[in-house]
Every structure is written in C-alpha cells, then in structure tokens.
Amino acid sequence: MNYYILNHHSARQGTAVILALVFGVLLLQLAIAYSGLIGQYRPQTEIIDERVRLQYLSAGLTEIALLKFQKFPADFYNCWRFQASSSANPSFWLDTSGPLPEFSITAPEFNQVAANGFTTSRSTFNDRPIRLCLSEMRLMTDNRWNVEVLQIKAHARYTGRSGNVINIDTIRTVRTERVTRR
C-alpha cells in the first residue's frame, strides 16, 4: 500500500511546473510577436504623413500651372495645335521636345523644385527633401464645341528614411472655354 502511494505521487510530481513553463513560453512568444507588430506600426504613420505632404505640394504645383495657362491661354493652344500636328506620338502631350513640353512639363518653373528638392514641408520625424515636377498638361476634349477640359497632373516623389520611395500624382481638371477674338 505504501509503495503504491509513493509511486503514484512521484508520477504526478512537477506537472504544475511543466504546465507553467509551457504557458510561460507561449506568453513569451506572444510578447515577441506583439513587439514586432508595434515596430511596424510607426512606419505606417510616417507613410501617411509623407503622402499628405506630397499631396499638398503637388496640388500647389498644379495651381501654378493653371495660373500659367490662365495668363497665356493663346500660347498654350498654339503649342498644343503645333504639337498635335507635327508629332508622330499619339500621346504627344508627353513629348519631351517641342513647344508644348516647353510650355508645360519641361518648363524650368515646374522642374526647378524637382532638381533641388523641397525642404520647407517637414516634421520632427521626416525632413527628407521632396521632389516635384509637372508630369502632364493636356486638353481632354477637342475644340469643336468651344468647351474643353484641361487636365494638369503634378508628380511628387520622396525617398523615406527607410529607403522606400513614395510617389504621388495629383490631377487637377478644369473646364475651359475657348473664346476666339477676330
């Protein structure tokens, strides 16, 4: 009888400790996994921040492009007509040479910022320069009805601290009315 009790007791000895150890290891794994998740959370906020800053800057560039169009509409239309008739490229508004790109996408006033990088828009956690340029300025409709739509697209590019490149395109579409004076 005594032998039975002793044997039974030794078979159960340490069960609670083993269970506690297994539970402890699981908790440790949980802690490691959770700390990994927290590590990924901060870059997400930074990415949102970067996108917002890029969006505002590129929207501002479309404003300047629209100003140029409003100041020199006849010159833009002339450039457009010349490029449309002389270019072999169906997407002639993306040409890199000729009067139209000189008016729009290769004009230094829209690419000056791209060369140097824009550093005014920054924060405690991000101070990398933002590069801006105008990527498109095109008429969406033809002039048969005297009403047209001008689409201006600005591109902003940014290399984050972790090396990830973020690109944002802001498109502004405005209705224009062509008035011919004779």
Partner 1 sequence: MAHPRLRTPSGVTLMEVMVAVVIVAVSFLPIIGVLGTSMKATGNEDSINRAMNLCQEKLNSSLQFPFDFFTLHLGAPIDTPISAPGASLILGTEAIEGVTYTSTLTVADRPGSFRVPVRDLTRGNPDDPKTWTFSTTVVNYTNLVHTYTLRVSWKNRGEQESRFYTLTTFRAKLSNQ
Binding region for partner 1 (CB under 8 A)? 1, 5, 8-9, 12-17, 19-21, 23-25, 27-28, 30-32, 34-35, 38, 41-42, 45, 48-49, 52-53, 56-57, 59-61, 63-64, 66-68, 70-72, 75, 78-79, 81-82, 84-86, 99, 102-103, 107-109, 118, 120-125
CA distance 171 to 59: 8
Tokens of 125: 């956690």
Element containing residue 153 per DSSP (H, E): strand 147-159
Tokens of 13: 């000895």
Instruction: Kindly state the smallest distance separating residue 145's Cβ from partner 1, in Å.
Output: 20
Tokens of 89: 């490229």
Between 107 and 159, CB nearer to partner 1: 107
CA distance 102 to 28: 62
Instruction: Kindly state the smallest distance separating residue 175's Cβ from partner 1, in Å.
Output: 11
Instruction: Kindly state the smallest distance separating residue 167's Cβ from partner 1, in Å.
Output: 18
